[in-house]
């Protein structure tokens, strides 16, 4: 009976029994063979680095074990890709940072669905609701180099996708994994897919929990969490070129935070999706895709449940998002492809509060946003290995400020000068990229330029004050123009991937936390520029040895103030070495990060602020893996082998983030990273 009450079973049951409108989006299917079953393809190697797989694009298998072992959320998984960092808040729910950019500069989609957190203090980034292993593929498109996945992203477009292979005959596929680690961390996951020629269903569920971890000094960090979720999807496949899929998703949990005065005690996500796709329609019309979705985030933060009770009480916030997409792809002369489409997304936010008596006030709407976009992307293949990819999109934005009053850190409230105002903007963006394949040299070269106009997000317009006003609703649009250059090489023993970029950012939205009158920060437009890049290599030494390495570096400048651009991570290097033989492997990883002496104290983004200089560090980790059977893999490792005490440059302040301390915990300038961590994992594919 205890099993029937477990969070994993409850989440799956909720998804199955949901009576709301349901459906499930899915990004794309290149063909029926592109998502082949991995049952007999388990590799004993543990991934320690992920490089570009095509121009500006990183693609990786989310089912493969890797080191350092990621937590249950999407941000920590992204941290294993060169160029990414994570703003540490506790044991989970960090905010991803790519090339120093974060927030809505990163476009994040889950099977085509837009997720937006509910917390006005950025407690729940969109990646907080993503358990990576429940998905099949992660794609990262660097820079403003795609227009097909919602409003153009200036830093990167991030796609978490499921890929369910159709069934020709009645059959099933089952993947299950379990992980145990230090700090009493336990993860369980199940992914069941069954079907026949006419259709299929997929049932997934996850349960992840951990106690407070310890840093290298042996001091506990306020970081415990428990998250669980489930999803049910059903697909109808009358033929190999037609798919109609619907799904429902339910997840929830709680998490302690080391950087603020409250914890998250509800992360309820409920979503419904529907997607229809038809391919190979005619010689000219290649495909048609249609998708609609809706999700609700119901978030509670308080200082009562996961720490010594305080006096702030409870805050309950909700975000409702609805959206859809329609796209068609045409095959023109030769193999040229033209994709055109329309997408739309509406979201609204509301809040209510309660004292320590847990008696809530009435719900109050504070903002609504609407976006409608048209896009076109064109790929032209020329002779002698040349390809040109280009695209353009136009978005119509509308935002309404519904706040009547604006509060302050001292508990006082003032009339909102922008109450009831509606902003409307038409924004454009596009890119052009040329690619050159040198087949005789196994090399691909590319150069691209992109321009993206970004409408300020909820946190910049509503959660922060403005420059010279208690309302940030008039913060200007941010415009990024970026040049991307790169090369990929694949040889018999060596793979190389290099990418560099230069970005000029007009009206960059900087958040200034230095004013005593706006301790929660105020949005301010400045001009900025950034440049840098990533370099990755894989070197296979004979039959058994493999070495992976990478470098990532970004430099940023606030040109208006002649100061460093805040929240820019320092140079990072990784070196992984592995030995594999037959069904087992052993390997190690060294991650070194340089000190950061370029900072702008007290200024940053909606995610965090610069806290002064940071020290450099190096962390060593070990792993081993054994393929016990063709369908069973055991892996284990030690992260931070020498129990190093360290923190990242992009991190939140320790204690409660407001100059105080969390009772029973040591306050630090930054939230320290975990100390020595032991982990073991088993994965079964049937």
Confidence at 43, pLDDT banded by 50, 70, 90: low
CA distance 230 to 336: 40
Where are the alpha helices (H) located in 18-87, listed in sequence order?
74-78
Facing residues of 226 across strands?
A: 209, 254
CATH number of 3-685: 2.40.170.20
Nearest to 281 by CA among 330, 235, 238: 330
> Domain locations in the chain?
3-685
Facing residues of 142 across strands?
A: 156
Facing residues of 603 across strands?
A: 512
Contacts of 569 (CB under 8 A, 6+ apart): 85, 97, 100, 554, 593, 596, 648, 649, 650
Average of per-residue pLDDT across 263-291: 96
Per-residue pLDDT reduced to its tens digit, 80-97 = 999 999 999 999 989 999
First to last CA, the chain: 27
pLDDT for position 41? 46
Nearest to 52 by CA among 579, 444, 493: 444
pLDDT for position 656? 63
- For residue 681, the surrounding DSSP H or E stretch is strand 677-685
Q: Say if residue 503's pLDDT is above 90.
A: yes
* Residue 280 Cα to chain centre, angstroms: 32
pLDDT for position 409? 52
Average of per-residue pLDDT across 20-49: 47
Q: Say if residue 591's pLDDT is above 90.
A: yes
Per-residue pLDDT reduced to its tens digit, 527-559 = 999 999 999 999 999 899 999 999 999 999 999
Per-residue pLDDT reduced to its tens digit, 633-677 = 999 999 999 999 999 999 998 876 655 689 899 989 999 999 999
pLDDT for position 383? 81
Give the least confident one: 6-15, 583-592, 600-609, 635-644: 6-15
Facing residues of 10 across strands?
A: none
Residue 262 burial (CB count, 10 A): 25
pLDDT for position 411? 58
Facing residues of 214 across strands?
A: 220
Contact 574, 548 (CB under 8 A): yes
- Looking at the chain, the whole-number percentage of residues with pLDDT higher than 70 is 92
- For residue 7, the surrounding DSSP H or E stretch is helix 7-17
Nearest to 131 by CA among 79, 62, 182, 85: 62
∠ CA(88), CA(554), CA(500), 5° rounding? Answer: 130
CA distance 207 to 302: 23
Nearest to 73 by CA among 345, 264, 242: 264
Return the HEC string of 112-135. CEECCCCCCCCCCCHHHHCCHHHC
Q: What is the DSSP letter of 166?
A: P
pLDDT for position 658? 59
Facing residues of 481 across strands?
A: 451, 504
Contact 237, 199 (CB under 8 A): yes
pLDDT for position 82? 96
pTM summary value: 0.92
- When the pLDDT of each residue in the chain is averaged and rounded to a whole number, the result is 91
pLDDT for position 27? 35
């Amino acid at each position: 009976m205890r099993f029937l009450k477990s969070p994993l079973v409850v989440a799956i049951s909720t998804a199955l029994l949901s009576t709301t409108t349901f459906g499930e989006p899915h990004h794309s299917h290149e063909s029926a063979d592109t998502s082949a079953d991995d049952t007999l393809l388990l590799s004993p190697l543990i991934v320690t680095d992920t490089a570009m797989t095509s121009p500006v694009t990183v693609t990786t298998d989310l089912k493969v074990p890797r080191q350092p072992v990621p937590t249950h959320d999407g941000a920590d998984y992204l941290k294993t890709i060169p160029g990414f960092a994570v703003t540490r808040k506790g044991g989970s729910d960090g905010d991803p940072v790519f090339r120093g950019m974060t927030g809505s500069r990163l476009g994040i989609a889950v099977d085509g669905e837009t997720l937006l957190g509910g917390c006005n203090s950025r407690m729940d980034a969109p990646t907080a609701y993503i358990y990576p292993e429940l998905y099949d593929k992660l794609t990262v498109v660097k820079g403003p180099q795609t227009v097909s996945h919602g409003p153009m992203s200036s830093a990167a477009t991030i796609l978490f996708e499921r890929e369910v292979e159709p069934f020709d005959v009645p059959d099933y596929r089952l993947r299950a994994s379990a992980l145990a680690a230090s700090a009493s961390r336990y993860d369980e996951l199940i992914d069941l897919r069954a079907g026949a020629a006419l259709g299929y269903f997929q049932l997934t569920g996850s349960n992840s929990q951990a106690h407070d971890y310890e840093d290298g000094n042996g001091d506990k960090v306020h970081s415990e969490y428990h998250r669980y979720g489930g999803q049910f999807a059903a697909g109808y496949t009358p033929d190999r070129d037609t798919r109609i899929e619907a799904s429902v998703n339910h997840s929830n949990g709680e998490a302690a935070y080391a950087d603020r005065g409250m914890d998250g005690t509800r992360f309820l996500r409920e979503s419904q999706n529907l997607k229809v796709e038809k391919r190979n329609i005619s010689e000219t019309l290649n495909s048609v895709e249609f998708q609609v979705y809706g999700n609700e985030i119901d978030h509670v933060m308080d200082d009562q449940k996961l720490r010594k009770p305080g006096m702030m009480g409870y805050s309950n916030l909700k975000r409702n998002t609805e959206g859809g997409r329609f796209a068609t792809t045409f095959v023109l002369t030769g193999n040229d492809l033209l994709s055109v489409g329309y997408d739309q997304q509406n979201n609204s936010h509301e809040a209510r509060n309660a004292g320590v008596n847990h008696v809530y006030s009435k719900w109050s709407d504070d903002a609504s946003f609407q976006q409608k976009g048209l896009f076109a992307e064109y790929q032209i293949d020329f002779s002698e290995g040349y390809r040109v990819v280009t695209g353009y999109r136009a978005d119509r934005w509308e935002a309404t400020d519904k706040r009547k009053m604006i509060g302050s850190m001292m508990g006082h409230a003032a009339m909102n000068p922008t109450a009831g105002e509606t902003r409307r903007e038409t924004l454009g963006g596009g890119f052009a990229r040329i690619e050159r394949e040198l087949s005789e040299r196994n090399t691909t070269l590319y150069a691209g330029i992109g321009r993206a106009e970004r409408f300020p997000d909820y946190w910049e317009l509503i959660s922060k004050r403005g420059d010279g006003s208690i309302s940030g609703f008039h913060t200007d649009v941010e415009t990024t123009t970026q040049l991307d250059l790169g090369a990929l090489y694949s040889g018999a023993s060596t793979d190389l991937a290099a990418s560099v970029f230069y970005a000029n950012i007009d009206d960059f939205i900087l958040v200034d936390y230095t004013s005593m009158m706006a301790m929660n920060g105020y949005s301010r437009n400045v001009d900025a520029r950034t440049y840098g890049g990533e370099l990755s290599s894989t070197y296979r030494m004979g039959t058994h040895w493999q070495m992976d390495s990478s470098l990532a570096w970004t430099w940023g400048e606030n040109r208006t103030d002649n100061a460093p651009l805040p929240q820019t991570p320092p140079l990072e290097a990784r070196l992984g070495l592995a030995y594999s033989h037959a069904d087992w492997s052993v390997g190690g990883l060294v991650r070194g990060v340089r000190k950061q002496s370029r900072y702008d104290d007290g200024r940053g983004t909606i995610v965090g602020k610069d806290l002064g200089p940071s020290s450099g560090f190096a962390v060593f980790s070990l792993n081993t893996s054994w393929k016990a059977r063709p369908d069973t893999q055991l892996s284990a490792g030690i992260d931070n082998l020498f129990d190093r005490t360290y923190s990242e440059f992009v991190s939140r302040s320790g204690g409660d983030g407001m100059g105080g301390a969390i009772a029973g915990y040591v306050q630090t300038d930054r939230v320290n990273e975990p100390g020595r961590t032991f982990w073991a994992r088993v994965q079964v594919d049937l």
